[in-house]
Structure 1
């Protein structure tokens, strides 16, 4: 008697992640999601994230064993501002016509409009950050100029993290909150269509999938924090923890600095592990000043309850 082994049906890996793919690769997020599957960290957390320093976020992620989330060495637009938002990711690779043809044909079937560099832009939601790896291509590399930049800004009200070159940097600088971290500037433009023939040098192979940004790995829905020349990608399930830890650090610093200025404690006492006397003084200080501190009253009440 012959036996025919059952062959499991294998789903081919899609170059553009579906909602199901995104959910599969972000299993630790239990909150709300966008229609495309990306974790939707609440706006209230994004608002509070703006005061978090890179060191504070980095320390919390290190404790959770997320060791490869930070990257620096950027050319910044609006370097005096802080970039915070939810990542929508894309990956470019060196142009290859056979792959380009398949993806362009699929784009027609999916009713995607325009060239590839517009596809992820059309998907952006308010407070998103477009995060793309363009393999640091400089000459004939920019896929973002002031037209695409304006489209990104109109959709998200936010900036970008772009591991490649941009063009029209003066036009991008005119967008007041287009806080951007890019690798370089070049006045040329990329060739990302079959119509360019032998000039084809860029093929977009992924949207809403994992993306390597320098030494970091970013995922769709990560909270992007960019400031002071660096960018860190915070997994959504850790975003609230990062914010709370940062706020508590700020409060303890405020208390410590005030008491040092008053001469109540020495630098050695404040720099060391606090004694029970200092901890009790800190709790009293929180109660006395909770209506005037740069942290919500609800968060201060939570700290007080823990003690």
Structure 2
């Protein structure tokens, strides 16, 4: 048994081909995280659902900063009710063989890097299940800069945590009691948060609706899909206001003529500037294969 075992993390995340942390956790690039901060949860949900990832969202959580979006790389932990023999064995192992200090929740927070999010299954324990309070939330803030925590359990010191502006915390409930009678059986292991499953290195997208866990190997695909949807909407709104197209044309499969109009706009209009890293060759090629010259080709300039 090892906590935060690189061999296990590599085995759980074989589809990730990019950079990793020393412990093997996937390190989704900071630029992808930056771009994900601009998308909605529904935009992230679509490409994941279409690829069969149907257990990535949980919305039954309270939020310290309901209006703020949270994005970061998952550092996971699984807690269970205390059984004395197991508890003593694992706590002593961490202290004596891995050089860890303090209680289980401190081990996880001491491992955090910039842009990390703690994701903890506390088996929905709130009374004596408060994974963080004011001190540990301050430590999360210091280490992650703009990360946070998702806790399927409790927190305490809400009045202190709400004053920490640069992170967010999603949790099940609050209680003044400290954390007691729990044992960590896994660190950076597959973790269940309500209906959702999170692996170490997943990108956590927290919004007012809840949290989405985006597999690391699908993070860039997800953000590209979302950005293309966003910029096409911008174009569509403009052309609808100009009465160039009907809503039926905008909402249906675009013709080659519409795609050419879009690409011309995309390359010149200032509103498209934040999206210019995107390419449209595949969409144009597909339109050329399927264009029948029907109503969608009627561009009314």
Same fold (TM over 0.5): yes
Shift of 1:303: 2.2
Which residue matches 2:115? Answer: 127
Partner of 1:38: 25
**Alpha-carbon distance between aligned partners in 2 of 1:304 and 1:31, rounded to the nearest angstrom:** 25
CA contact (8 A) 2:141 2:167 kept: yes
Q: Which residue does the alignment assign to 1:116?
A: 104
Give the 3-state SS of the residue equivalent to 1:150 in structure 2.
Answer: helix
Root-mean-square deviation over aligned CA pairs: 1.4
Please name the residue that 2:49 is paired with: 62
Compute the displacement of 1:273 (Å): 1.8
Please state how far the C-alpha of 1:292 moved relative to its aligned partner.
4.3
Aligned-pair CA distance for 1:113:
0.9
Q: Deviations over 1:20-40 (max 9, x none)?
A: 110111000111100111000
Please give the secondary structure, in 2, of the residue aligned with 1:137: strand
Match of 2:244 in 1: 264
> Are 1:97 and 2:84 counterparts?
yes
Q: Name the counterpart of 2:60.
A: 73
1:27 is aligned to 2:14 = yes
Aligned residue number for residue 9 of structure 1:
none
How many Å apart are 1:277 and its aligned residue? 2.6
3-state SS of paired residue (1:140) = strand
CA distance in 2, matches of 1:53, 1:221: 20
Give 1:17 shift: 3.7
Q: Is the 8 A contact 1:211 1:218 kept in 2?
A: yes
SS in 2 for 1:124: coil
Match of residue 173 from structure 2: 184
Q: CA deviation at 1:275?
A: 2.7
Instruction: Give the stretch that moved more between structures: 37-46 or 180-189.
Output: 180-189
Q: Determine the C-alpha separation between the residues in 1 that align with 2:116 and 2:229.
A: 27
Contact 1:15 1:205 in 2 (8 A): no
Structure 1, unaligned stretches of length 5 or more?
A: 1-13, 192-200
Matched residues, number: 282
Contact conserved, 1:131 with 1:160, CA < 8 A, in 2? yes
Shift of 1:229: 2.4
Q: In structure 1, which of residues 72, 84, 88 is the aligned counterpart of residue 71 of structure 2?
A: 84
Shift of 1:143: 2.2
Contact 1:210 1:219 in 2 (8 A): yes
Aligned to 1:209: 189
Distance 1:186 1:172 in 2: 13
1:240 to 220, 227, 231: 220
Q: Distance in 1 between matches of 2:129 and 2:219?
A: 33
Deviation at 1:296, TM superposition (A): 4.1
* Structure with greater strand share of residues: 2
TM-score w.r.t. length of structure 1: 0.88
| Unaligned segments of structure 2, at least 5 residues | 285-301
Q: Contact 2:227/2:275 (CA < 8 Å) preserved in 1? A: no
Between the aligned partners of 1:100 and 1:227, the Cα distance in structure 2 is: 35
Deviation at 1:247, TM superposition (A): 0.7
